[in-house]
Structure 1
Amino acid sequence: MSDLYNSMTELVRTHNDSNDFMFSVDYRESSNLITAIHGGGIEAGTSELAQYTAEITNSNYFSFKGLKSSDNTELHVTSTHYDNPLLLTLNSQMNHTVSIHGYGDSEKNTYIGGSDKQLVTLISQYLTTAGFKNTIAPSNLGGVDIDNVTNKNKRGAGVQLELSTAQRKALFNNNDFSRANRESRINWSDDLRNYANAIAKALSYVN
């Protein structure tokens, strides 16, 4: 299904209710950036994983969160059309960027893509060691396009992680990634912490 909006600029300018979304940003003295550009209810669970990963790695954090009661997917803007100036400016100063996304599947898996091949390999290794199934992303989720916002950092290379629905649900107690459950930290599961720790180990190797 094609996006409703052709760019983030168009979304912010023309969407009829600004209460339907928010930007969440944490600035830290870091050359790393963790993002969830389809966060909140768009690809549920990605904001929370990105936030926790950024905290434990002392990385910068950016998330665009869908806050609608339903139909948050209409706020999805594909990564190659993601022209948000705040994110572009922040990412242009970064050496390493990890972008956390979600795709639909009832089996636990992560597709790993992006142009930062060293970090892709390291994250894959550490996720595997931690017990998380992961595979190389198919071309449509590959994250290697030069126009993909993930790759618009200093090195022109980032990492894109696509977590299946089942894997994202497992990040929360009782596999419940409803807004009320995921926004309370008490409901963040060991899977969320272990997944973030795997990314943290990979980042520590390249920094």
Structure 2
Amino acid sequence: MTAAKYEATYFSNVIGLPLSYEPVEVKRSCFTNKAFNHSISKNNKIVLSLSSNSFGIYEKPSEAIQTSIEYVESSSTLEVISIEKSSDKVSIADADIVVSGGRGLKGPENWYLIEDLASVLGAATACSKPVSDLGWRPHSEHVGQTGKPVASNLYIAVGVSGAIQHLAGINSSKIKVVINNDPEAPFFKAADYGIVGDAFEVIPELTSKLKALKEV
């Protein structure tokens, strides 16, 4: 603040007073005294802050000159750019129902199938590790041994093959349902109910039927 007021150059961690004045050159400590450098300024107005224990105590102090320094109020202001509303989505940890998607959805552009079904059921959305690794979904939605554990009343897996790590993470869920077009997918052995079919046909039909039931 003082240097700015007097349009002076500021040097911190000084361990050696000016070696020259045209231009001003001082010795400074850097990297916690692991190195030193010589800083130069063409401005003949300088403000220094000294590194601790850089100079010994003189037996006879020099004559002090007292002066007052005017306090300058900072003109900087804090501006609020935006306020983001917290998500209304159901969290995986608190959800009674979880709808999870795997690579069988073929891309992030098809994730609306999971979102639509979850919305009708009031469920949380989740994904397999490969899906989060591919960047289709955030890692916060990754369910499995290396992700979030799920202990929901109902777990619906869409296009998830059923790797051991994924199954370990959902082991505490009461009812497990899998929808997959591969009848040999490992998930079918761990599921309570299974549908062998194309998710792009099954999920829209299931979502539509559930919406109709809610409207009755």
**TM-score surpassing 0.5?**
no
Which range, TM-score by smaller chain?
A: 0.3 to 0.5
Q: Which has the higher contact order (CA 8 A, sep 6+)?
A: 1
Higher percent of residues as helix: 1
What's the TM-score once normalised by structure 2's chain length?
0.34
